[in-house]
Structure 1
Amino acid sequence: MREGAEVPEIPRERGFKPLPKRWVVERTFAWLGRNRRLAKDYEENPRVSEAWVYLGMLRLLVKRLARAA
Structure 2
Amino acid sequence: MHVAVSPGGTRDGRFLPNGIRWVVERLFAWLSRYRRLNIVYDRAADLFAGHIWIAMASIISRRLVAQTQAEQSV
Give the TM-score range, shorter chain: 0.5 to 0.7
**Deviating runs (4+, > 3 A) in structure 1?**
16-19, 40-43
Q: How does 1:25-64 map to 2 (within 5 A)?
A: 25-64=24-63
Alpha carbons of 1:56 and 1:46: their partners in 2 closer, same or farther (altered >3 Å)?
same
Structure 2, unmatched stretches of 5+, are 7-16, 69-74
Flag the structure with more relative contact order, 1 or 2, with Cα contacts below 8 A and sequence separation at least 6. Answer: 1
Structure 1's unaligned 5+ residue stretches are 1-12
Letter in 1 for 2:37: L
Larger helix proportion, structure 1 or 2? Answer: 2
Identity %: 33
Report the TM-score when normalising by structure 1: 0.65
TM-score between the two structures when normalised by the length of structure 2: 0.61
Report how many residues are paired.
Answer: 57
Higher Rg: 1
